[in-house]
Structure 1
Amino acid sequence: MFNISSKNDKKALRRRLSKFPLPRISPLPSGWKGAIFGVSIVTLFICLVQAFYYLGSRGVQDYFVGTILSILAVLGLTGLVAGVLHWAKKMPSRYVWFLLASIGLLYLSFLGPLPLTLSILLCILFSFSLLGALLYRFIKGSYREAARWVKVTASSGIAAVFIFICVLGYWLTCGGFAELEVQYPLQTVKTADNYSNSVANPAEPGTFRVNSVTYASNPTYRKDLDTQGRLTTKTVDGSAFVGNWSSRRTNTFGFGPEAMPLNGTVWYPEGDGPFPLVLVVHGNHLATEFSDPGYAYLGKLLASRGYILASIDENFLNISPYDDLFILDGLEGENRARGWLLLEHLKTWESWNASEGNPFHSKVDMQHIALMGHSRGGEAITTAAAYNQMTTYPEDATIKFDYHFNIQSLVSIAGTDMQYQPGGQPIELHDINYLSLHGSHDMDINSFVGANQYFRTRFTENSHYFKSYVYIYGANHGQFNTVWGKSDAAGIGNMLFNNSEILPGEQQIQAAEVLISSFLEATLRNNHSYRMVFQDLGYAKEWLPETMYISNYWDGNTTTLTNYEEDSDPGTTTLPGGRLEGDSLKVWKEDKVKMELSDEQYSAVFLEWDNRSASSTPVYKVILPDSGIDITDTSTLVFSIANHDTGQEAHEADTLVDLTISVEDETGNVSRLPLSNFSPLLPMFEGVLAKRPLGFFQTIKEPIFQNFAFDMNDFIKANTNLVPERIRKISFIFDQTTKGNILMKDIGIRNDKK
């Protein structure tokens, strides 16, 4: 150490230091300064708006702290990158730094499909960089001595960029540029005269007066549930079902995973009961914007029709950007907890039903229970159904299960699939009724993954259970929940999506009410008239909004002839002893069905034909075994087909495919009916999710299987000599449409038991 005291010593030190000059940062030209200002201002504005969406519900302090920390973190990281790139000297490192920071912050704000998001980011950053550079140079007088043509060019550039920004701003803030086009509405496709209904519209309110009550373990966390007459529940220890619960999350909600609350809002009918019990659970959304109130419309409707419905609070398991450090430190494995909590709620309801003095004593029909879930909740209900049958927790066998509730029915609304697999295995459901609803314009769960669980649901032979799905053209993800609404993306990210081409919210809710209420009437009350809605959606055409639907159906009363899952031989049927034959087909193979964005999970037969080049009429035949098939005049031939128009011209893809269904008995009597007797095969629905003209960046077009059912009586009417008990051949003759490309699955014989 040494001491510098005299002036001479200081001068000597300065002389020594001058030999090692510090790097000098040269001032930026005015244009680059303006570019930084332009990019920074628009980025800061967008970030403040998006941060309000993420953090505004937490209060002013958390909003500003979270926003500032996020911006500083991105600036720090991109500053390092800009420093590394400084050696290139192609652009000032400070501009590169701010540009990279803007790209990071803007991408986190939009979080849309990568190609679409990057395109919009480039437009924003380029236009505001150029506008900022030109304006700043004008303000600093850089063009004062310039030639007239330079001034005119710069002024024109500012005007052009400004117009471009206005157009871009309009594109971002508008809902879209076209309305939903419904080419083949259900009401037009289903024109048969036999759709007479002797039952009431299931979406109409029932005769019961509706009451409501809340229950909660932690009213401090959910003050809105601390209502008069509130019921008190115990907390449950869910620490084994969720990981990485941070202290920040504990501070936000006031509890940790060892003290998860059992909270809910109940709508129930006034009367003695007992009434079937329905639990509905939301999916992933902002944890501080509560999702469970968004199903009040279902609660009020179903309670008026004699059900008890509880909307379950699992918001504390949802994404919380502040607590999760955006997405860097979020919960782990929380989907397990979502399903487990539903069973803990059922334990509470079982206790209330058995406790004298409780308002629900002896009013709950615990033998008729349904679980409904939306988004991740749609997967949570299958997890709950799987846990309900298990004796131990598959991730830790030291934790014992003893639930075994009589869960009769599951309703998945735009549900996820396989985000959690117990013991690493996909969930297979057995002997439980299952319904999945999904929209063609779902901008969150883009692929119809609910179909995976549909095909993984199986029944004991001759059981009363059934499964169905309904694919709704124009429906999006969020409008099944009134809190979520049109917003399928987070905040500003919605500006990228095509909200003008989705069903109006009230129509989407109407579809949900009709289908869910019908399903519960059929499965919890065994009302066969409402089961017919899923066997043939035409029975609901007067109740459903006017759009296109593709539905599928299978039940325990159906004998499977072939489902294409038994082996890789295209010539064998699932039912032993049968054969499959094809003639003059352009393509005939069995393979896994590929959806747009989901894994291949189930198989089908791929059939393509072109009569213009075929040597004879193309046909696909199912040869039945000599014995063992129960077919009578009351039986129904069922199968499902999906249009698979990949590679076809646009006008051909929109053609309604028709073909001939033929049955032949062992003495050679043949009866034929056109497919269109039941319904034409609809084209693949195209969901244009991104705004036009950039819709091609995010378009969903998937093969969705449509069920068909032909009564044997109709075949007998076409040929009175036909003996159904002796039918040995079923043929699909491709003589009605010149060319086509389809998938076929699940051919069977149904013998309904009333």
Structure 2
Amino acid sequence: MNALKRALSIFEKTVVGFFENNWRASVIGSFAYILALVLTMGFFFYTGAGKWFDYSFTLITAVLGILLGFIISLFVFKILFLLPKYFVACIVGAVVGIYALGTYLGPFFTMLGIGTMILGAWTGLSIKLVKNERKRRGLLIAALGMITIITHGLFLFPIFSEGDQGAWSLELTEESINSPLVNPASDGGNAIQNFTYGSGEDLRREEYRDVAYKTNAVNMSSFVVHPKGFNKWYRDWFWGFDLNRAPLNGRVWMPEESSEGPFPLILMVHGNHNMADFSDGGYEYLGELLASKGYIAVSIDQNFLNSGKSGHIGWDNAGRAWMFLKHLDQWGKWNNDKQHPLYGKVDMENIGLIGHSRGGEAVSLAALMNELDRLPNNAKVTLNFDFSIKALIGLSPGDGRFKLGDQPVELKDINYLTIQGANDTDHTNNYGVRQYERVSFSDDFDGFKSSIYLYGANHGQFNSDWEVDQPSPYWWFMNQKEIMEPELQRDMTKLYVAAFLDATLKDKEEYRQIFSKKETASSWIPTDPVRLKYEASTFTPLATYEEDVDVTTMTLDEGELHGYNLQVWKEVNLTLRNNEPQGNEAVKLGWRGSSGRYTVKIPDKVAQSLSPDSVLSFDAVQLHQSLYDFYGIRVPKGYEEKAIPITVMLKPKGTIKLDGRNGTSVEIEPTYSSKLYKFGWWNERFGNDYEHMLQTYEVPLAFLQDNNPNINYQDIEEIIFEFNQTGSGLIFLDNVGFQK
């Protein structure tokens, strides 16, 4: 110990002596260089007041800044030198330790650490003061105790409070519509079996050592950027393999062997998470349901592609997508092998992919890779896949993390569903709606796409092993009161996933109405938190607002758009929470009074195809209430955070424009706030506390016959959105057209 003290003393004297003898030279050199820089910048600085002013301004600013810093430093150092050196050293040591841990545990830990340090210092000081005071100890204890309790309460309240309640209702609708449909999330009645397949050599998990069927490793070299240095060493040690020989591991739920097949195949994959906290078991709730309904459901293990404390893997989403296809390849081999127990069990013509988070982006990448001969990002790599993938589901998917050929993923003639939670603190923006907009259909394709936005749903509860979006201490500061119960979120997910797969892989078209009319599910799940977009391949668009900047032209030629007595009428690009574009244009309509209306003139070629079976379809939603004041429009009295009614009319030729017999009322849903964290200042990091997510509305034209039995549907020439039921309002309108 004495030797160490002597060494430190010698080091201290050497360093101090060096600077005592040389500090003037370094200061003169520094100031000379700073002066040269300031004069140079003054030459390029231009105000228009003259070059003399430009030079003077930059020079005076620099001198004042240096003097201010000099004075503050002298004052701080004077105080520090007067303080006990061990006190200063302990405080600095504590702060450095807190920030060091904060690099791993995040900024919330840093804030908590600093706050805890201050509270501890105050508590310790209070105890010391009370201990030393003898004359007025009782009064001092009362005062310091009260202050201590208050400060601890203020510190702990944000942690233990649940936050704010959302404006939406989680109650079932009492007057649900009559529907002959069976809840698609009910058990299908098939007895199920559960097993795993994989390498049989997994170091960390017994379920992938004791497997029903062994698989060969695959080389991912062309589809990922291999980790290097410590990241590679740690991963290789932890997993026992590198990505040149990645395993094909999967958990399977399927009908028992006695059940008749073949069965549609559903592959599911998790997203990014701590690789040591395994994620693939978290979709058991979906696997068991789908197996009972006659599907083979597989949860793929891709934990080795996830991030860890040692670092990340580049191009990981390309790897996730390719692994989807390699698992399909494996299932195809088993299905065709007459000697294998799974021979003939798989309906390889009906395949669906489900992905969560980064896995949700991977399903779209996999579907596109499936159609390509070569990898666009490295054309030396062949793909050679051609599976019959008919359905894609993205649960809170990412978008654009990896781009094939540096282009956004454009999908054609495939059924697509995305589900996003409004209280997602991981993917805070609804990126799935952007992929939804990039799915298109050919005239001869029979399918649909849907985007579902769930107020109160978060990111982690789609996976029962995750549940929370971020670990503590982040979780302590999230607005937990808005988040729905985990089981409810998974029940809603089961309903939409099962209905989508039944409709697209088992031709149960009756389940499409769950996506076109959200009220269809109102007796099974709460639908007030749901914003649901739907578009079928048979949709004929009149106005999508994507074609040009002329607000009077439509997507189809010969049609016209007109507004009357409107306070607001403009076409805009819808945005996400962080103000990034959704990739979708809509028209913004606002009114004051009860005489505003917006008309869509129907081209004759479209009118000739109309019949009682036709359905008028459009997407709409109210703007967030915070935007009403911006446009000088009041929120209609009694409709705060509620749907507002508008009248939708279809005018035949030769009739009065606003003949009430040709109209029906439609309730336009509000845009709710969803506060991710308890603190407004922290929420501002993510942008707005809302996203404008459109809702699809359908108006069957058969209603016209109630008051006009002899109506000729081919004579309908205008769609009129009449804003006559409230004294004011502000909505988005999009995708006006007819659905067969």
TM-score normalised over the length of structure 2:
0.81
1:233 aligns with 2:215: yes
Offset of 1:459 from its aligned partner?
0.8
1:634 maps to which of 613, 619, 627:
613
Asked if the contact 1:507/1:545 (under 8 Å) is kept, the reply is: no
Deviations 1:690-749 (A, max 9, x none): 237988667731111000001111123243353212222111111112211111111111
Report what 1:387 is aligned to: 369
Which deviates further from its counterpart, 519-528 or 656-665? 656-665
Asked if the contact 1:659/1:674 (under 8 Å) is kept, the reply is: no
Offset of 1:131 from its aligned partner?
3.3
2:628 maps to which of 642, 648, 669:
648
Report what 1:507 is aligned to: 488
The structure-2 alpha-carbon separation of the partners of 1:192 and 1:494, relative to structure 1 and needing over 3 Å to count, comes to: closer
Q: Which amino acid aligns with 1:471?
A: Y
Pairing of 1:88-237 with structure 2 (within 5 A): 88-89=76-77, 91=80, 94=89, 97-98=92-93, 100-102=95-97, 104-105=99-100, 107-108=102-103, 111=106, 123-135=115-127, 138=129, 143=132, 156-157=143-144, 160-169=147-156, 171-172=158-159, 174=160, 176-177=162-163, 182-183=168-169, 187=173, 191=175, 193=177, 195-197=178-180, 199-217=181-199, 219-226=201-208, 230-237=212-219
Report what 1:607 is aligned to: 588
Offset of 1:169 from its aligned partner?
3.2
What is the rounded CA distance, in whole Å, between the counterparts of 1:643 and 1:19 in structure 2?
A: 68
Pairing of 1:325-344 with structure 2 (within 5 A): 330-344=312-326
1:378 aligns with 2:360: yes
Asked if the contact 2:590/2:731 (under 8 Å) is kept, the reply is: no
What is the rounded CA distance, in whole Å, between the counterparts of 1:19 and 1:192 in structure 2?
A: 81
The structure-2 alpha-carbon separation of the partners of 1:158 and 1:282, relative to structure 1 and needing over 3 Å to count, comes to: same
The structure-2 alpha-carbon separation of the partners of 1:454 and 1:175, relative to structure 1 and needing over 3 Å to count, comes to: farther
Report what 1:561 is aligned to: 542
2:329 maps to which of 347, 352, 359:
347
The structure-2 alpha-carbon separation of the partners of 1:348 and 1:675, relative to structure 1 and needing over 3 Å to count, comes to: farther
Asked if the contact 1:131/1:158 (under 8 Å) is kept, the reply is: no
What is the rounded CA distance, in whole Å, between the counterparts of 1:647 and 1:598 in structure 2?
A: 14
Pairing of 1:339-488 with structure 2 (within 5 A): 339-485=321-467, 487-488=468-469
What is the rounded CA distance, in whole Å, between the counterparts of 2:195 and 2:662 in structure 1?
A: 54
Asked if the contact 1:449/1:598 (under 8 Å) is kept, the reply is: no
Offset of 1:153 from its aligned partner?
5.9
The structure-2 alpha-carbon separation of the partners of 1:497 and 1:106, relative to structure 1 and needing over 3 Å to count, comes to: farther
The structure-2 alpha-carbon separation of the partners of 1:266 and 1:85, relative to structure 1 and needing over 3 Å to count, comes to: farther
1:521 aligns with 2:510: no
Deviations 1:632-678 (A, max 9, x none): 2211110000221342367765142211111122333666589975x
What is the rounded CA distance, in whole Å, between the counterparts of 1:598 and 1:388 in structure 2?
A: 33
Asked if the contact 1:460/1:556 (under 8 Å) is kept, the reply is: yes
Structure 2, unmatched stretches of 5+, are 1-9, 21-71, 630-634
The structure-2 alpha-carbon separation of the partners of 1:570 and 1:693, relative to structure 1 and needing over 3 Å to count, comes to: closer
Asked if the contact 1:218/1:261 (under 8 Å) is kept, the reply is: no
Asked if the contact 2:671/2:691 (under 8 Å) is kept, the reply is: yes
Q: Which amino acid aligns with 2:99?
A: G
Q: Percent identity?
A: 29
Report what 1:57 is aligned to: none
The structure-2 alpha-carbon separation of the partners of 1:121 and 1:227, relative to structure 1 and needing over 3 Å to count, comes to: closer
Deviations 1:538-594 (A, max 9, x none): 222222247521111001011111211122221211112222111111111112112
Pairing of 1:245-260 with structure 2 (within 5 A): 245=227, 246-260=232-246
What is the rounded CA distance, in whole Å, between the counterparts of 1:565 and 1:341 in structure 2?
A: 36
Deviations 1:371-396 (A, max 9, x none): 00111111111111111111211110
SS state of the match for residue 592, structure 1? Answer: strand
1:275 aligns with 2:263: yes
Asked if the contact 1:214/1:227 (under 8 Å) is kept, the reply is: no
The structure-2 alpha-carbon separation of the partners of 1:192 and 1:282, relative to structure 1 and needing over 3 Å to count, comes to: closer
SS state of the match for residue 361, structure 1? Answer: coil
Asked if the contact 1:443/1:489 (under 8 Å) is kept, the reply is: yes
Report what 2:41 is aligned to: none
Offset of 1:123 from its aligned partner?
3.9
Asked if the contact 2:201/2:209 (under 8 Å) is kept, the reply is: no
What is the rounded CA distance, in whole Å, between the counterparts of 2:151 and 2:724 in structure 1?
A: 54
| Aligned residue pair count | 653
Q: Which amino acid aligns with 2:671?
A: M
Offset of 1:397 from its aligned partner?
0.6
SS state of the match for residue 730, structure 1? Answer: strand
SS state of the match for residue 286, structure 1? Answer: coil
SS state of the match for residue 667, structure 1? Answer: coil
Offset of 1:335 from its aligned partner?
1.2
Offset of 1:352 from its aligned partner?
0.7
Report what 1:310 is aligned to: 298
What is the rounded CA distance, in whole Å, between the counterparts of 1:581 and 1:181 in structure 2?
A: 34
Asked if the contact 1:474/1:547 (under 8 Å) is kept, the reply is: no
Structure 1, unmatched stretches of 5+, are 1-13, 25-83, 325-329
The structure-2 alpha-carbon separation of the partners of 1:727 and 1:244, relative to structure 1 and needing over 3 Å to count, comes to: same
The structure-2 alpha-carbon separation of the partners of 1:656 and 1:547, relative to structure 1 and needing over 3 Å to count, comes to: closer
What is the rounded CA distance, in whole Å, between the counterparts of 1:102 and 1:158 in structure 2?
A: 29
SS state of the match for residue 567, structure 1? Answer: coil
2:650 maps to which of 639, 655, 663:
663
Offset of 1:21 from its aligned partner?
6.3
Deviations 1:60-109 (A, max 9, x none): xxxxxxxxxxxxxxxxxxxxxxxx98994255763563354255246446
Offset of 1:240 from its aligned partner?
1.9
TM-score normalised over the length of structure 1:
0.80
What is the rounded CA distance, in whole Å, between the counterparts of 1:718 and 1:683 in structure 2?
A: 31
The structure-2 alpha-carbon separation of the partners of 1:86 and 1:376, relative to structure 1 and needing over 3 Å to count, comes to: farther
What is the rounded CA distance, in whole Å, between the counterparts of 2:570 and 2:661 in structure 1?
A: 25
Offset of 1:609 from its aligned partner?
2.6
What is the rounded CA distance, in whole Å, between the counterparts of 2:566 and 2:185 in structure 1?
A: 45
Offset of 1:474 from its aligned partner?
1.5
1:680 maps to which of 667, 681, 700:
667
Report what 1:32 is aligned to: none
Deviations 1:418-452 (A, max 9, x none): 22222221111111111111222222212222111
Q: Which amino acid aligns with 1:701?
A: Y
- CA-based RMSD of the aligned residues comes to 3.2
What is the rounded CA distance, in whole Å, between the counterparts of 1:655 and 1:248 in structure 2?
A: 54
Offset of 1:22 from its aligned partner?
9.3
What is the rounded CA distance, in whole Å, between the counterparts of 1:196 and 1:261 in structure 2?
A: 46
The structure-2 alpha-carbon separation of the partners of 1:266 and 1:673, relative to structure 1 and needing over 3 Å to count, comes to: farther
Report what 1:730 is aligned to: 719
The structure-2 alpha-carbon separation of the partners of 1:117 and 1:736, relative to structure 1 and needing over 3 Å to count, comes to: farther
What is the rounded CA distance, in whole Å, between the counterparts of 2:126 and 2:706 in structure 1?
A: 81
What is the rounded CA distance, in whole Å, between the counterparts of 1:662 and 1:120 in structure 2?
A: 58
Asked if the contact 1:281/1:374 (under 8 Å) is kept, the reply is: yes
